[in-house]
Structure 1
Amino acid sequence: MLLIDNQTVAKILDIKGCMEALEIGYRDLIKERAVYRGRYDLFVPNDDPKLMYRWGTMEGASRSFETFAIRMKSDMLEWPEGKTVEKYCIEPGTFCGVVMVFSTRNGEPLAIINDGIIQHMRVGGCAGLGAKYLSREDSSVVGIYGAGGMARTYLLAFNQVRKIREVKVYSPTKQNRESYANEMAERLGIKVLPVERPEEAARGCDIVATCTDSIQVVVNDPDWIEPGMHLTCVKANEWNPDIVKSADLVIKMGRPTLNLDVGQMRIGGEAAVVAGNAEEIKRIANPKVDIFSAEFPLLTDIMSGKLKGRTDAEQVTFFVNSGTQGLQFASTAGYVVREAKRRGLGQQIPTDWFLQDIRD
């Protein structure tokens, strides 16, 4: 069995390999050779009223990779001033998330993987698939809101499927947007401009992506949207719902947990339960906007030819990058494990540690 840390994942998983793995997983889904369970979160109030514990899981399987994977994360959450969500494990700056991978051939535990790199890459990779099937083929100018890990992988993915020549990035923190611009310009060899006003990151762009930790609407003004744009998101609350409704074509990555059981609710667009009373639940800064819960046609419908994608250069398309997360981890982690074995990477640990002679 392998223990694979983020440094090893970074050696294996580039955006090209990530997107290829994701597309294999979704082709499996189309052919009824893959399965997933929607993301599910469990919240526990803390003695400190500013904090909330969250346990999150998502799982899936791909027959092409012969893997089942479950991603698990353990977070302490807080919402400074009700504007963003901040998280950590034990102390600020450290995080806990792992992907456990099992063989669907014989049930063998194959690997435990730190989820940091895979998480950013699989979300960005899906945004890239959205751009591949929905954006204009001549798209060359990208607008990015946010300057963190997701903003980086989104741009890598867009650059993989379209010939990007210019990027405009907006973050409310001047240092963050300038650092992002310098790093990504050097990394991709293209012009990346930090902009001072949010509307500048949208106007004149072919692809516009929100990649933020905001719990408020980020792009609110419909006047910023121009014919032919392709729009996408990271979170359920980043776009004014009127912009989404007015798009000519809205496509979703996959279905979320649709039917909530007794006691469940949606928090940030995802199914959740809370081990708390009504007053404690009010501590959670649940965004008022949630585009993830709406029903839209799926990207697999376009990939399979069931539906047409963009049919006009003037159409505004919107890609809701949510759903099927468990399959994404099965595909990308399956790819990482396969490559780690082939290249002799990762730390070997005894498989016997995870086996027992007591039938459960």
Structure 2
Amino acid sequence: MDTLVPATTGSATLLGIGALVLLVVVVTLWQSVRFVDAYDREALTVFGEYRKLLEPGLNVIPPFVSRTYRFDMRTQTIDVPQQEAITRDNSPVTADAVVYIRVMDAKRAFLEVDDYMPAVSNLAQTTLRAVLGDMELDDTLSRREKINARIREELDEPTDEWGIRVESVEVREVTPSPDVKGAMEKQTSAERTRRAMILEAQGERRSAVEKAEGDKQSNIIRAQGEKQSQILEAQGDAISTVLRAKSAESMGERAVIDKGMETLSEIGQGESTTFVLPQELSSLVGRYGKHLTGSDVATDDGTLDSLEFDEETRELIGLDDIAEMIGEIDAEAEMDVEAMERQAQAIKEGQDVGADETVDRSESPESAE
């Protein structure tokens, strides 16, 4: 029994040493291998000295004496806290922003700046205050693009030295102080009231102009209608006068014929067999009657039937001229009515019809004739 105790103790010792060696080997292998994600880069230092950037995938590094620093190569967002500033026209405002950055050179981001995220955030805060202080209040509220561009320009130069690129800057909100905001609301309300009054006055003026224009066109059409009525009335009076004159002339000739016939009757009752007829009487009798035998005077029922006028008689009493004049008057009246209807339709549709555009057909060469 005494000889077995040392053997057991020695085996346990060897087993412990083997386990320790195995543990050391595992730890050493674990420390020698570094896995890097696809969107990351890691800076490697050995004994505090920068060596290289570890690329995505499996990397072998010196164990126990190496350290790595991870850098995300994707676009990152930095919230800029709300900042208070005084504009160039002494108006207090508050504003906040968002900055989008990307690490372009991990080595410079590791060596040139302690921690690039808070560094960019602090730089963006001071730049935002400086840009707002260099602008007037109206520009800070209406020209967001200008503020974004100026902040980005101010951030570009220092961040380039850090290996950081500023991709975009967006000012989310610019808020004036409560007092300034209340004054702006009053100003906006007064401006809206002024515009409403201007629009109302313009509407009333336009309505008055259109009403006056409508009255003008109505008066023009009414005057034209009265003018046409007077022209037609005058032409009717002229035709009536012509007809009365022609009728009087015809009746005069008829009276001469009747008187001549009475004279002939008296002569026929006398004893003389020689008759002398005036040339005028024979001409008039030839116009209105036929020879004694077969004339329209001798009829069975004793009534007098009218015959068609010959060309000479129609020319004498002017029947053809009267028909032509009546036809011209009807055509002219029809044309004037159509012109007035067109003008009325144009006024109804809102066209600007002037008095100089009115077609005065009564003064045309045809009407003058």
In the superposition, the TM-score normalised over structure 1's length comes to: 0.14
Task: Name the structure with the higher strand share.
Answer: 1
Task: Name the structure with the higher helix share.
Answer: 2
In the superposition, the TM-score normalised over structure 2's length comes to: 0.14
Larger Rg: 2
